[in-house]
Amino acid sequence: MKHFDFISIGDTQHDVFLELEQETKVLEDKKSKVKYLGVVYAEKIPVKKFTSIPAVGNSANVAIGCSRLGLKTAFYTVLGSDITGKEEFKVFKKEKVATDYIVWDRKRQSNFSAVLNYKGERTILVHHEHRLYALPKLAPSKWLYLSSLGPGFEKLHSQIPSYLKKHGVDMGFNPGSFQMKAGLKKLAPVMRASKVFFVNKEEAETLLKKRADIKTLLKLLHRLGPKIVVITNGPKGSYAFDGSSVLYLSVFPAPIVERTGTGDAYSTGFLAALASGKSVGEAMRWGTFNSASVLQHIGAREGLLLKAAMTKLVRNNKRFQPKKI
């Protein structure tokens, strides 16, 4: 009987990165402190460089990342039946991600994102096609990962907990933008079924409708059911809470090229470590090393570490450890 170490579930995107000229402005609302990317209205905006990357997206990145780290990995996604979709399928095959559960949408095109890259930060314009999701008959797996889905994701959310229970599967969950907009009430059943719940600080505050310090946010989210809650906070590092100890780990020093996919890389390393029998603290190290590697490349996939590279980083940086706070 077929068995996987890891099955990822979510949408696949085709990202086009547009590197904006340096004279582009960043405007900040003095009251809300929200920053806006300023471009001149009704004008042609110069772009220094563009990079096209198919077969990305939260769950796609994690599927490929876990495969590179040596896990037997499969991916459930719905691809558009167009040139881009066929190209994406080839990428998954090349990355040794099992395509058993890839479904073709004969009526709709591939998902698309335009990523505006400016001074190392990115602003993403996202288009999700409306897919008809339905959980395939998945083989048993040690781990499942659930992330970004478009409209209609609720059907999968209702099906996944029973699969986890039937096969004794642990799950990592990182809600995407459409899932976040649905709110805590709709996410609660899947959160309760999760072994690890990943969000960044802003997402945690949005879900809880509360501004608070990270320790408080961790504990409030933990009460909703996940066994482990992880909150990433960009260049300030990451935090994890397993119900007893709050751990903090700073970012690993690395030159910043572009930030897309750093959160997915962290989730990849974290879950791959747990799947390999490592502790939560060691999982934070794997996640941080992977994130730092992706930070040094354009796009979410290029810097995802191979197992040998991860092993070397772990071995050569023994003093880089999380601390209890």
Instruction: With a cut of 70, say whether residue 247 has pLDDT above it.
Output: yes
CB 14, CB 54: distance < 8 Å: yes
Residue 25: what pLDDT?
A: 84
Residue 1: what pLDDT?
A: 66
The chain-wide mean pLDDT, for the chain, equals: 95
Q: Count Cα neighbours of 73 within 13 Å in the Cβ-side half-sphere.
A: 27
Q: What is the pLDDT of residues 17-70, one digit of tens each?
A: 999 887 788 888 888 888 999 888 888 888 988 999 999 999 999 999 999 999
Distance CA 60, CA 72 (A): 14
Q: What is the pLDDT of residues 149-197, one digit of tens each?
A: 999 999 999 999 999 999 999 999 999 999 999 999 999 999 999 999 9
Name the catalytic one among 15, 170, 242, 264. 264
What residue spans of 69-153 are helical by DSSP H?
83-94
pTM: 0.92
Tokens coding 74: 């499969």
Residue 5 is a catalytic residue: no
**Rg of the chain, C-alpha, whole Å:** 19
Instruction: With a cut of 70, say whether residue 293 has pLDDT above it.
Output: yes
Instruction: With a cut of 90, say whether residue 235 has pLDDT above it.
Output: yes
Residue 241: what pLDDT?
A: 98
Q: Please report, in angstroms and rounded to a whole number, the separation of the first and last CA atoms in the chain.
A: 45
Of 121-125, 213-217, 220-224, 288-292, the poorest mean pLDDT is in 121-125
